[in-house]
Structure 1
């Protein structure tokens, strides 16, 4: 089988595989390994900035834990066998049940070239419309909102607009944690322009509030009321741009009437949104008074059963004020994944066809079928949209879809109504999974497993939130027998009889075809906005050297297009933007006496999606090591739960267990849980298990932000921390996973397990020996407090370490982890094992700065000794000096410790 050739040693410019910011990365290769990464100072998305996840990319690489060979029926087979069997079984399902019983579920982690050939195969040659993507879970409402308003899925802004704006509004976006490089860019712009204002609109007080001039802690789901109220206020106070409305838009009267009917007075809106009326009117005045306004919105707006309407309510206000098509102005949806937009470009959503055409685009079916030369096939391209993500798994559960190919995503974790999704996967006659790693929640459901290449190996392009296409350059040879996704798809296509249409030998040929399709018959009355035909016909050398560029790229814009709609001409039939009448709707997941708490879900700072990549970098596990439940002190008291204790959330669909974090940043009556944890890392810690699969009727995006749950305390007989040498853990589920609660935390040279159970343990030493087969060599027990520490040492090597007691009593674990690397423990280290630290060592506390591994206790000590600014802490401890993601937490600690801080005394030596 062909393998990608490793590029030359030295520095290689590529693109980060995490969020939609699309940061440029400079990777350093030495002796066939990536030894360091840093931000690419020449890339216009980040100009050298990189968040902590990006700076740890090289720590996530390596062959350990990767899928090494194809599997069919749980057995390793050759690629020839796997490809032949994949094609045979797909064809068998088509023959038996029809083309529409075959489906694919893709991912924003795929490169554009992977996406293109997958979409071409399934829609163009297999004749099924049922190809969707996990971008449906994060961006579909933003896409639908843009299409309704502008006629195309077209983000009008760019990142420079953040620096040109007079007002930046963050709505449903914790930019500081989810898009930290953009947050740092905005922060610097605000420091340079003291007149710039920032408004944060979010139910939670997040780290993004650090730079906010105004915070509106709205009731979850009330965004449409707020922006309808803004539109009505602008009209009542003569703050509309009537010239722009008359010259470039339609639908204003209907939109305003709907806004006035739902909004009422400022007081009425404030009641609906549960915010202070004066603060609300301040926001309205700021927005209406400034021309250069950027509204950044993300999952907090999109992940709703009325997400599309919320997006259009925001866009309405920008159109009404003429606040777009200008520097520093526009409604700016921030993409969640690195190539969510690239997937949309090629037709990766079930309601799309290809090259930003959909089934309702006049002439699109004929155009695409002629370009792909599929007219001779029976049937030809499907003539109607397919099932969107939630509908797709419902159809599988009903038996209507009998073959599913999943690529680079984990619907067994990320989808709502997780129990039903897993049931559907178990029932599906054929599940094919293309995956990088050997252990995910999805793999047990796979009939065929195809090992795919990963970030450092893949070669192609991605498109970020500002429409900027960048190269992701392969640097390493895929481990084992792993292959690129585009190659796997094409080889299956050949075995299905479509060799001529899938005879690509390099990703540049796929990109070239994609670019040619974007420009195919793209002129006159059928002109389409998405057009990168200016990048076609350049050859492999030009493709390899491609610099970041924003579409459209064509003969009229050979250097790209930084900003759209500058002339006020839109991609609609009449060239006018459309304002939509919006009627606000409540969340579908209703609160009740049984489920009285409103559930919010989201990302944490140092993790990404289902942790298959970030958990490979141990330092990224330190900031939030376990699944947690964040809630207001009053709700904690009402439920009888304590900070750092264990609790359970229950909903109609399932349960979630996590560690309690009590915070005044939460609104009363609401809880927040992270979306990352899976069955591979914890027991019952999947947020999707709590969510019902209600979707937006326009976009099909599920309501992942407004669940309804109940909270109960988990009263445990004991809690324990177990550190186990990596090689000591056998394959399969360890015996301690029968505990009522467990969470696995990779640490590098060992694994940390947080455990708890309701049943007492009568003999801990016998229990841990039964778990691991290694008896205790050292132990110390305090029966009065039910505390124990023990360690297992074999031939001078530490094999396990146990502490029975709450995790708050743990010492800093860096010293203990290092002992697992000792070939032979020396006497001093052996004597200190149970203490877990060197003599006189001070516990650094929970990690705040992941870049430099600086703990909270260390930071507090420095503050109390006189380092009373972020700059002073950075000079002493280096915290906050790299990616900057921890700076909001540093500021919070500074504020909390201000009464305890002692100012440093400066003495003039001449006066001494």
Structure 2
């Protein structure tokens, strides 16, 4: 028997009658299919089948004026059954989103980062709005990964038209007429918790769960406010009488922030706002991996950011090395970086699998555009 580590790469299919020689050839691998000019047909010849192309079965109209396209995102695979368990992969794209062109966003009164309802003639979902020039006007994109296990009303498959290929059964998941309207909850929030969360959390109108390192992250929104925010937060965060409880409540501005500390560790924190403008999650998330909550972090906790100068790396861009958007933007700005290669030399971002390189290039382009605009404004002044 040969040790697994000694096995050479093998290209499939593996055919017993081809096994010969040494190395990869010893296993009968096939470097190139049909290299001998013979195909899996009675005659051994390739066959071309003429088809008559047809358009989508359903087309946009006055009620559903957009075309919905569904697909996958960079760090997830299928329905999160495996990638959803990975904290590293789960932090890049946390929520279902709907990508839409700026012109369509203005037309349908959608704000980048806000929530929207995506509807078709067959279903509806709630997703975070991403306004981007990468989308064509008239088209929207929604990822299909989220199921009822990880999100409320986040299933893209519920939207897709029941049109299938007559031979393969493949659904027409790239061309469903749709519409997008703002989803206007009374409150937005997020919960980070290393403790089990009660099932009552999932009674809120919008929630999405993502696994982090030593905690779970929940993005939340509700159409109705709890009558007692502090009581609701204590129940949600399973507060023990022995725990330290820190709270900030501003009912006039509808801003509520709570934290639970057990012993010397941060166990949970909840931030609530009347809109989607909330503190970044990266700095707070990092506190859950610390066995003892530092005094300065305890002081800054309800601010949601380090007032004492500790850098917040921002939303994850490079999952391989855990490099965030703010860290990349800071390096570009302070070191005048002009290429993804230079960013990689500085931070390692983009030097492993390379899937974040387009995002790094976009950050470089944005940073230099902002710098040019600032310089132009100073020249005018």
Task: Normalising by structure 1, report the TM-score.
Answer: 0.38
Q: Return the alpha-carbon distance in structure 2 between the equivalents of residues 747 and 847 of structure 1.
A: 12
Pick one of 631, 646, 653 that aligns with 2:100. Answer: 631
For 1:711-722, list aligned pairs within 5 A: 711-722=180-191
For 1:698-847, list aligned pairs within 5 A: 698-726=167-195, 728-730=196-198, 734-774=199-239, 777-805=245-273, 806=275, 808-813=277-282, 815-838=283-306, 839-847=308-316
Corresponding residue of 2:161: 692
Residue deviations 1:259-295 (CA, integer Å, cap 9, x gap): xxxxxxxxxxxxxxxxxxxxxxxxxxxxxxxxxxxxx
Contact 1:812/1:844, CA 8 A, preserved across alignment:
no
For 1:504-653, list aligned pairs within 5 A: 532-534=15-17, 559-566=28-35, 568-653=37-122
Structure 1 residues 799, 569: closer, same or farther in 2, change over 3 A? closer
Pick one of 116, 123, 139 that aligns with 1:670. Answer: 139
Structure 1 residues 692, 835: closer, same or farther in 2, change over 3 A? same
Q: Return the alpha-carbon distance in structure 2 between the equivalents of residues 898 and 696 of structure 1.
A: 47
Q: Return the alpha-carbon distance in structure 1 between the equivalents of residues 289 and 74 of structure 2.
A: 29
Contact 1:749/1:821, CA 8 A, preserved across alignment:
yes
Contact 1:739/1:755, CA 8 A, preserved across alignment:
yes
Q: CA deviation at 1:662?
A: 0.6
Q: CA deviation at 1:881?
A: 1.1
Q: CA deviation at 1:713?
A: 1.0
Contact 2:114/2:276, CA 8 A, preserved across alignment:
no
Q: CA deviation at 1:660?
A: 0.5
Q: Return the alpha-carbon distance in structure 2 between the equivalents of residues 700 and 601 of structure 1.
A: 17
Q: Return the alpha-carbon distance in structure 2 between the equivalents of residues 724 and 771 of structure 1.
A: 10
Residue deviations 1:352-393 (CA, integer Å, cap 9, x gap): xxxxxxxxxxxxxxxxxxxxxxxxxxxxxxxxxxxxxxxxxx
1:885 lines up with 2:355 in the alignment = yes
Contact 1:740/1:756, CA 8 A, preserved across alignment:
yes
Q: CA deviation at 1:844?
A: 2.1
Contact 1:864/1:900, CA 8 A, preserved across alignment:
no
Corresponding residue of 2:364: 894
Q: Return the alpha-carbon distance in structure 1 between the equivalents of residues 68 and 235 of structure 2.
A: 40
Q: CA deviation at 1:714?
A: 0.4
Structure 1 residues 820, 893: closer, same or farther in 2, change over 3 A? closer
Q: Return the alpha-carbon distance in structure 1 between the equivalents of residues 284 and 367 of structure 2.
A: 29
Q: Return the alpha-carbon distance in structure 2 between the equivalents of residues 598 and 687 of structure 1.
A: 13
User: In structure 2, the residue corresponding to 1:625 is in which secondary structure?
Assistant: coil
User: In structure 1, the residue corresponding to 2:163 is in which secondary structure?
Assistant: coil
Q: CA deviation at 1:879?
A: 0.6
Gaps of 5+ in 2: 373-381
Q: Return the alpha-carbon distance in structure 1 between the equivalents of residues 263 and 33 of structure 2.
A: 68
Residue deviations 1:60-98 (CA, integer Å, cap 9, x gap): xxxxxxxxxxxxxxxxxxxxxxxxxxxxxxxxxxxxxxx
Structure 1 residues 893, 616: closer, same or farther in 2, change over 3 A? same
For 1:113-192, list aligned pairs within 5 A: none
For these two proteins, the number of residue pairs brought into alignment is 365
Q: CA deviation at 1:711?
A: 1.3
Structure 1 residues 756, 548: closer, same or farther in 2, change over 3 A? farther
Residue deviations 1:628-678 (CA, integer Å, cap 9, x gap): 111111221222211010011112222111101011111111111111111
Structure possessing the higher relative contact order (Cα contacts under 8 Å, 6 or more residues apart) = 1
Q: CA deviation at 1:812?
A: 4.3
Contact 1:749/1:818, CA 8 A, preserved across alignment:
no
As a proportion of its length, which structure holds more helix? 1
Contact 1:799/1:820, CA 8 A, preserved across alignment:
yes
Q: Return the alpha-carbon distance in structure 2 between the equivalents of residues 819 and 593 of structure 1.
A: 50
Contact 1:742/1:756, CA 8 A, preserved across alignment:
yes
Query: Which structure's CA Rg is the greater one?
Result: 1
User: In structure 2, the residue corresponding to 1:577 is in which secondary structure?
Assistant: coil
Structure 1 residues 858, 807: closer, same or farther in 2, change over 3 A? farther
1:853 lines up with 2:318 in the alignment = no
Gaps of 5+ in 1: 1-6, 14-25, 27-39, 45-465, 470-531, 539-545, 903-912
Corresponding residue of 2:338: 868
Q: Return the alpha-carbon distance in structure 2 between the equivalents of residues 893 and 682 of structure 1.
A: 29
Q: CA deviation at 1:757?
A: 0.9
Structure 1 residues 646, 660: closer, same or farther in 2, change over 3 A? same
Structure 1 residues 844, 818: closer, same or farther in 2, change over 3 A? closer
Residue deviations 1:882-901 (CA, integer Å, cap 9, x gap): 11111111112222222345
Structure 1 residues 560, 801: closer, same or farther in 2, change over 3 A? closer
Q: Return the alpha-carbon distance in structure 2 between the equivalents of residues 824 and 574 of structure 1.
A: 73
User: In structure 1, the residue corresponding to 2:57 is in which secondary structure?
Assistant: coil
Residue deviations 1:680-728 (CA, integer Å, cap 9, x gap): 11001111111133221122222222122221210111100111123x3
Contact 1:630/1:662, CA 8 A, preserved across alignment:
yes
User: In structure 2, the residue corresponding to 1:753 is in which secondary structure?
Assistant: strand
Residue deviations 1:330-373 (CA, integer Å, cap 9, x gap): xxxxxxxxxxxxxxxxxxxxxxxxxxxxxxxxxxxxxxxxxxxx
Task: Normalising by structure 2, report the TM-score.
Answer: 0.86
Contact 1:646/1:714, CA 8 A, preserved across alignment:
yes
Q: CA deviation at 1:817?
A: 3.2
